[in-house]
Amino acid sequence: MHIVVCIKQVPDSAQIRVHPVTNTIMRQGVPTIINPYDLFALEEALRLRDRLGGEVTVLTMGPPSAEDSLRKALTFGADRAVLLTDRSFAGADTLATTYALATAIRKIGSEYGKPDLVFTGKQTIDGDTAQVGPGIAKRLGLMQLTYVARIASLDPEGGTLEVERRSEGGVQVLRSKLPCLITMLEATNEMRRGSMVDALRAARAAVVTWSAQDAGVEDISKCGLRGSPTIVKKIFVPPARAEKATMVEASDLPPADALIAEIFKQQPKLESDMIALARGY
């Protein structure tokens, strides 16, 4: 099996600041990490590789510094890392990003074998759109399985798999043919600790680096800022909530029905929402 995992290098959300004048995220001097949601996708891909054999290729689009995140993925056990970097990719929104990544995945398929599975995290912490995974699937003509909590079974010979997908109404069990794209939910697995062998290999490994031309991008106008119709008018820090939590000591705890009545009194919409949920609306 050949599995491609798309990851993104993002600013550490604990240290992000917003510029007081321009209302834009200040990325300079902010440490970067692998998007946390992508780590669940990477771990799931590695588990499938360990169980069924094959290779895991990790792909990212970003500046040359994004190589650090790819090497980190190699320390976890990925077999190959591909960095898609070009000045023409700068300023890309999700539409332009999916165009570049889909093109790179086609190139990976021609160079290293057509992927049976493409993994992404459910979303990124710096964008939170959850559009890139489905966008790649659409451009590549792949079946998309989003918000997957567990891969129940996978038959490489028969080219089928079964997954459990979380939805608002519960858990859906879906079956699909390969190849397909999967976006993994958070807390579905635990990222492994890389071995010393993988750490040494990652330090020596050559990260495959492609420009737009190397990746086979045919229409550069669909990349970067020129290919991005999304306009962000403003980014701001939400104001702190004025309400404070009410502490109730165990010794002062009223009867359950009185406590529930008080909660509904303070949060009137909560009661109607819970009734609607119970009735299945």
How do residues 79-110 score in pLDDT, each as one tens digit? 999 999 999 999 899 999 999 999 999 999 99
Fold of 2-227: Rossmann fold (3.40.50)
pLDDT tier, 62 (very low <50, low <70, confident <90, very high otherwise): very high
Do 87 and 211 meet the contact criterion of CB atoms below 8 Å apart? no
pLDDT, greater one: 249 or 199: 199
Give pTM, 2 decimals.
0.82
The string of pLDDT tens digits covering residues 218-252 is 999 999 989 999 887 777 667 777 777 777 666 66
Domain boundaries, the chain: 2-227, 250-279
Q: How confident is the model at residue 248, as a pLDDT?
A: 66
For the beta sheet containing 208-210, the strands, ordered from the edge strand earlier in sequence to the opposite edge, are 170-177, 160-167, 143-155, 180-184, 117-121, 2-6, 55-61, 80-84, 208-210
Q: How confident is the model at residue 234, as a pLDDT?
A: 73
Q: How confident is the model at residue 281, as a pLDDT?
A: 57
What six digits make up the tokens of 35?
């998007």
Q: How confident is the model at residue 162, as a pLDDT?
A: 96
Q: Rounded distance, CA 223 to CA 245, Å?
A: 47
Angle value at C-alpha 174, between 170 and 175, nearest 5 degrees = 170
The string of pLDDT tens digits covering residues 103-142 is 999 999 999 999 999 999 999 988 889 999 999 999 999 9
Return the closest-CA partner of residue 22 out of 272, 234, 193.
234
